[in-house]
Structure 1
Amino acid sequence: MTHRLTRDQARRIIVRAQLLDANRPGDVVEVAEQLGYIKIDPTATIAPCEHTVLWSRIGWSYEGGQLQKAVEDDRLLFEFDGAFRPLSVLPLMLPAMRRWPERDASKQWLEANEDFAREVVARLDGEGPLLASQIPDTARVSRTPDGWSGSNQVPTMLDFLLRQGRVAIAGREGRHRRWDLAERVYPSDLPDYDDEEAAQLLEERMLQAAGIVRPHSWWNGVGKSTGEAATVEGSSWRFRVDPEALAALDERDEGGRVAFLNPYDSLLFDRARLKELFGFEYVLEQFKPQAQRRYGFFAHPILIGDRFVGMLDAATDREREVLRIAAVHEFLPLEPEEHDMVRAEIAELAEWLGVGVADADPR
């Protein structure tokens, strides 16, 4: 059976799946469990990505210390591949981690540096947790710097050992990661899944976070057999939809709200889906020359309900303790009530940041 959805229904499914509807989640772990991951990025025009992602869902009651507590004290989240993830997905990732690496170049580098790997593990065993800077580089073979990593091979080795499940990130000191043995960071009583079962469960989690997607095993991790088939009015795409999200369409809609989305927010990841279902052609202008920017270096898309209505170009000025509003770009003229909603959300954002507002009138 193929479900036939309206565009409004499809967008409502996505917004609810991303916890951006009127019913806000209660805490950090609830957000991570639903979204599957919380992206980490240091670009802090307003605030770092991991914090704005959580604030846009939880709202004024979110404090940065709650994330650190969930990761380092409660161990309900873990850091992997540039994101904080719920512990419940770790067992689903372990089979692939045990197979890693599959690329010949990575295998060859690890084989050439077996002694280096043993030394890193031994140092963590005896002295951990440690920063990468506290571990000597004894690599026999170096990888060519790729623009993201330098000549020091320790971060690369730690990343490789992380992907194999041998080491883990125990916490952070500022933006610097503290490393330890995986057995001292991850629980010892995790469920054990075979490759096929783990892959299927992981696909289901990815569809749960997305709500509805055009299946693509690499791009969104969802295959053609996961979820249920669906079409959306006006689109030629063939979708897969989360059955629970589909059933929830019968529930009362509490209405929408305003959300400012960090440019690395997971809702924005699938640009093709944004254009197809929301009519929003999103371009991150961070890496464009200034003369080619239309909305700003790190402008945050503005969502009202299930519509993208504009872009917020703002920056936190910590020295003067204000949130500076360079512009609120409206795609179409906002209604007076919508102006008031955006203005109120800017005020709440500034209050959460602990600063005032400069030039905050979105008109």
Structure 2
Amino acid sequence: MTKIPLSQAKQTIIKCQLLDKPAGKGKTGALKALEHLGYVQIDTISVIERAHHHVFWSRCPDHKKEHLHELQAKDRKIFEYWGHAASFLPMSDFRYSIPVMEVHRQRDDVKTVLDTYKELSVQVLDRIRREGALSSSDFETPENFERGPWWGWKPAKQVLEALFWIGELMVSHRKNFQRYYDLPERVIPSSTNLEKPDEAGLAKFRVRAVLRTLGFANIQDICWMRRNKVAMKKALQEMIEEGDAVEVEIEGLDGTYYCLANNLSADEEKNDLNCNILSPFDNATIRRDRLGKIFGLEYSLECYVPQSKRKFGYFALPILLGADFVGLLDAKAERKSRTLLVQKIMLDKKAALSKPLDTIAKKLADFAKFNGCEKISVLQAEPQTLGPKLEKLTECSVPKN
């Protein structure tokens, strides 16, 4: 079994996450990034720019919101469905969602909604067929409706979501973040491969995607949130036997890891001063246990934690410098004053040195611009001397939009 140093593993992981250098520009770059990553999670939290735009900005620095809208609503190159959560996925991978739709069709709660509102389901589909894409706001809430399960949604919203889960409706586009639903035949391009993969084909697709994007993965990473772990393990073994994947021992880590053979042989170009400020929902950070094990970063998302119990802040953003996580940033975009409030920033001692700090400050200025801000105000910093340094370094670095 090949043994590699931890430093090499981290460099490979960052490269496989497209965080070593820009993945491209414009819509083309965004689509390239999504096709490589396999999914990008959609999230509603907007204390800074929403997570899906943040993830794309981290790979494509010129990212604009309209890129995703055009790719989804006009070009039909991406679609919304389930990754490990609500996500954008490449339309080229659509057929691998068909088995997931069939699983959702058997969900008791989905069956209950469609059985309870059978007549409404017919009416919803009929209206969309006649009128085109509609949102939940296009349907009335019945008088005396008592909110219950499914987040207290009104009946029409429950029906729209249930039909979405089983593939009878798709998200055509979003307006003001609200979903507009349409018939699949009006969303999926005619050239799309709609052949449902068999269990073995689906498992191999998923294993390859994990190894392509994580760089190195153990069996827990490979089977994370998957129902048929037996098929996943069998697909991995077949890839090893075919020479597509290899077993690896990583210095300092327990157990066996796996990687694509071409990732092991690729030369890694070190870029120790490349900086990224990442979303908590980023593909590279979503697995907190993996971050702790490989990168030594121990943190959790605290927006759902009472303020009195938070250790760091409402929405901590990991700061990546080269292949090392060197700190956390809790920021808020004050959109009226166009100010990025750095409510707290914490850097380790090496990152607080002059050269790394210059790089981090530049990225912070870029991050402010990405969030529509022209100023940066540092409220709390660790070490304490960091705050004035950052403000001085960034005060002339945030160009007006």
TM-score in terms of structure 1 length: 0.89
Alignment of 1:1-363 (within 5 A): 2-26=1-25, 27-59=29-61, 61-81=62-82, 82-136=86-140, 144-145=148-149, 149-191=151-193, 192-196=195-199, 197-216=201-220, 218-219=223-224, 221=226, 223-224=232-233, 225-226=235-236, 227-248=245-266, 250-334=267-351, 335-359=353-377, 362=387, 363=389
Give the total of aligned pairs.
Answer: 356
> What is the CA–CA distance in structure 1 between the aligned matches of 2:116 and 2:279, rounded to whole Å?
41
Report sequence identity in percent.
Answer: 28
Q: Which runs of 5+ in 2 are unaligned?
A: 237-244, 379-385, 390-401
Distance in 2 of aligned mates of 1:358 and 1:100: 45
- Do 1:38 and 1:85's aligned partners in 2 also have CA atoms closer than 8 Å? yes
Cα offset, 1:163, TM superposition: 2.0
- Structure 2: which amino acid aligns with 1:116? L
**Change over 3 Å in CA distance of 1:176–1:151 after alignment to 2:** closer
**Aligned letter for 2:252?**
G
RMSD: 2.4
Question: Which is further off, 339-348 or 149-158?
Answer: 149-158
Change (3 A) 1:113 1:238: farther
Distance of 1:127 and 1:320 partners within structure 2: 41
Distance 1:32 1:318 in 2: 28
Contact kept in structure 1, 2:4 and 2:249, CA below 8 Å: yes
- SS of 1:267's equivalent in the other structure is coil
Q: Distance in 1 between matches of 2:158 and 2:262?
A: 40
Cα pair 2:95 2:197 within 8 Å, conserved = no
- Contact 1:22 1:256 (8 Å CA) reproduced: no
Deviations 1:174-215 (A, max 9, x none): 011111011110123322143222332233223322222222
SS in 1 for 2:342: strand
- Residue 125 of structure 2: SS of its match in structure 1? helix
Q: Which segment drifts farther, 258-267 or 223-232?
A: 223-232
- 1:243–1:153 CA distance, 2 compared to 1 (3 A): farther
Q: For the Cα contact (< 8 Å) 2:272–2:323, is it kept in 1?
A: no
Give the Cα separation in 2 of the matches to 1:345 and 1:110: 49
CA drift at 1:128: 1.9
1:136, CA displacement in angstroms?
4.7
Aligned equivalents of 2:147, 2:210: Cα separation in 1? 33
Higher relative contact order (Cα pairs below 8 Å, separated by 6+ residues): 1
Amino acid at match of 2:44: P
Quote the Cα distance in structure 1 between the aligned partners of 2:51 and 2:78.
Answer: 16
Q: Which runs of 4+ in 1 moved over 6 A?
A: none
CA distance in 2, matches of 1:351, 1:108: 47
Quick one: structure 1 residues 244 and 319, their matched pair in 2 at CA, closer, same or farther if it must change by over 3 Å?
Answer: same
Alpha carbons of structure 1 residues 109 and 155: separation in structure 2 relative to 1, 3 Å: closer
Deviation of 1:69 (Å): 1.1
Q: Which stretches in structure 1 are left out of the alignment for 5+ residues?
A: none
Equivalent residues of 2:2, 2:249 under 8 A apart: yes
